[in-house]
Structure 1
């Protein structure tokens, strides 16, 4: 069970996973060892899946973000596995969702420019049969975060944001 202290630890780690354990412990009112044990337990339970560095897309030449809505006439496990395998070959695909509604799949793709997107698109359609592809391009990123809201953890009703 994730308690209030675990939520505070998770909030700190989501904001900056390089904060030393001693500093996290100080912020949540624990000494280093109990704080480290809680972090290890959260990792073992899969709450913390991994720790990563968040890069500036412009500084790594991924300036264009495309959202690709895909519709297919194939709705079976074999086709989905093949499609997932194909998508996993493309590092440009940073998010991949199976959807409910009119769109079957949604991809978020990052590339340097429109020409790179066109090359990506041509490689994609050469590898898998898709009924319909509709792409929209982001003009401006207004909010982007990997931080999940923690006010829902262990609660029937939403709680106030963790500070």
Structure 2
């Protein structure tokens, strides 16, 4: 972003990252602007890529998707072609809600959401292991989620933002 964030931008971002359903008028009122300048700021933040997209967060438990697992994945041979093939395959798997390349003895960390242990086992066997790229998987079943947020820590962007958020 070419223009630096100011305290009003930070407040706008804080509001909409907690509730993307707020109207521009509601955001404007809460930050002390009229709707037009507030809309222009939001549009600038979208155009610059600071705001990537707006989403609705669903209650997975109410949908019957309460089984969550973190898996470290080690590829058999971590060549560029195998890394690309694995990442392409993972992008199409709805059960994988997060995938990151990591340092250490593993190549990837996956966060997987399914209905239950049986669905997870079938997913692992039929979708991940069937790729023929994986040499090792270590799975950790989530017992209870202590903190789960999508909010960026805006106070870390710069010190004057921490005071305003």
Normalising by structure 1, we get a TM-score of: 0.93
Alignment partner for residue 83 of structure 2, among 76, 80, 83? 80
Cα distance in structure 1, aligned partners of 2:161 and 2:137: 40
Which sections of structure 2, spanning at least 5 residues, go unmatched? none
- Following the alignment from structure 1 to structure 2, what is the Cα–Cα distance between the partners of residues 143 and 152? 19
Q: Does 1:100 align with 2:73?
A: no
Q: Which runs of 5+ in 1 are unaligned?
A: none
SS in 1 for 2:154: coil
Contact 1:150 1:162 in 2 (8 A): no
- Which residue of 1 is the match for residue 134 of structure 2? 130
Structure (1 or 2) with the greater helix fraction: 2
1:28 aligns with 2:31: yes
- CA change 1:120–1:104 in 2 (3 A) is same
In the TM superposition, what is the alpha-carbon distance from 1:159 to its structure 2 partner?
A: 5.7
Aligned length in residues: 161
Q: Counterpart of 1:115?
A: 118
Residue 19 (structure 1) aligns with: 22
Contact 1:99 1:105 in 2 (8 A): yes
1:4 maps to which of 7, 22, 25: 7
Query: In the TM superposition, what is the alpha-carbon distance from 1:75 to its structure 2 partner?
Result: 2.4
Whether 1:40 aligns to 2:46 is: no
Deviation at 1:158, TM superposition (A): 8.6
TM-score by length of 2: 0.92
The aligned counterpart of 1:160 is 162
Where do residues 51-62 of structure 1 align in structure 2 (5 Å cutoff)?
A: 51-62=54-65
Partner deviation per Cα, 1:20-75 (whole Å, 9 max, x = no partner)? 11111111111000000000110001110000000001111111000001112422
